[in-house]
Amino acid sequence: MKSLLLREHRLPTPPAGDPAFAPLEDPRMYWPVQRARLSKTVREGAQSLGVPVELGLLRLWQHNLPGAAWVERIGLPRRAVELTLGDKLVLHVNPNNLVRATHWQGWPYKYRPTSSAFIWDCEWDLRRGDLRTSSRARFIADIDAHRDDLAQSEAFAKYMARLKAGKPWSSHQQGILLDSEARILTFLRVYLSFMDDMAARGFDSTRGKDMLGVAVTREGRLLKINRGLHRLAMAQHLGLPSVPVMVKAVHRQWWERVTQGAQGNHVLALMKENLADCKPESQPGVLTNFL
């Protein structure tokens, strides 16, 4: 009866599903995937409703209409900036130089920058973890070193330990469940296939859910943020010479320094001009950041 119910509940397309993971999708993940899909639908619906408002606010600011100062003070609507500037926010950097990242997990909310703004305040850029020693970098190096016998890898041991403890690893975003030794090995082989494809074809910015995101610090340096850390770790491990990254935010101190009190479209032109000079940050910050 249980197996019949599972067959009746065919797994819907997971929010972050990739065809490569299809063999690992499991009907038992039906409801977690449904909840993830509903959450994504609600979130994207709210965003689509807000985009016209955000574009209107940006146009108000661009034409220096009443309220323009307030729009800049709250940080400019990020999605509207991205839609307006498009690939002008994309930079090409050597991934082996993009070694510092920041996140605010565990921070009080009052100290976190808001993802809806393009201009960020606070001290987020002073927390810099080292991607070269991150869990993603260790994972990629580990499975590559043990590609001929993945059962000897640390990653395999970690997932097996969870399985033996009765808590197999799962992903509601991808709809997969690693509840057997064979599934764990298949999961690791999928990541090896991603890396081998990157080695053969180069970095494909369309492969992941989002482009590699970076933010500009107060000193005008680039820090890695948000998603794509596994893809970046692969590019670094392979020694690729260049990857595209998108500027998702800038520190207000840098913004004010490069725009020099200009207004409207002239500000955007100054910012774009100065983005070309932004290079990846290599030094640790004064605040500790663990990755």
pLDDT digits 0-9 by tens, 28-51? 877 776 776 777 676 666 666 689
**Model confidence at 143: pLDDT above 70:** yes
Q: Give the phi and the psi of residue 11 in degrees, each rounded to 5.
A: -65, 125
- Out of 125-129, 231-235, 275-279, which region has the weakest mean confidence (pLDDT)? 125-129
pLDDT value for 134? 92
Q: What percent of the chain is modeled with pLDDT above 70?
A: 88
Closest CA to 226 of 113, 110, 111, 89: 113
Structure tokens at 68: 């323009």
Average pLDDT over residues 120-142: 93
Query: What pairs with residue 177 in β-bridges?
Result: 170
3 state SS of 273: helix
Q: Is the pTM of this model over 0.75?
A: yes
| Rounded-to-integer distance, Cα 163 and Cα 155, Å | 12
Between strands 243-251 and 90-93, the pairing is antiparallel
Rounded to whole angstroms, what are the CA distances from 136 to 141, 234, 251? 9, 9, 26
**What is the amino acid identity at position 63?**
H
Rounded Cα–Cα distance for residues 41 and 123 (Å)? 32
Tell me how far apart the alpha carbons of residues 197 and 203 are, in angstroms, rounded to a whole number: 9
**Beta pairing, strands 119-120 & 100-101:** unpaired
- Structural tokens at position 236: 């670094």
Q: Checking phi first, is residue 175 left (phi over 0); if not, alpha (psi -120 to 50) or beta?
A: left
pLDDT (average), residues 172-192: 93
CA gap 113, 136 in Å, rounded = 24
Band (pLDDT 50/70/90 cuts) for residue 3 is very low
The pLDDT assigned to 15 comes to 53
210-221 tens-digit pLDDT: 789 999 999 999
Q: End-to-end alpha-carbon separation of the chain, Å?
A: 44
* 184 has pLDDT over 90: yes
Q: Which amino acid is at 247?
A: V
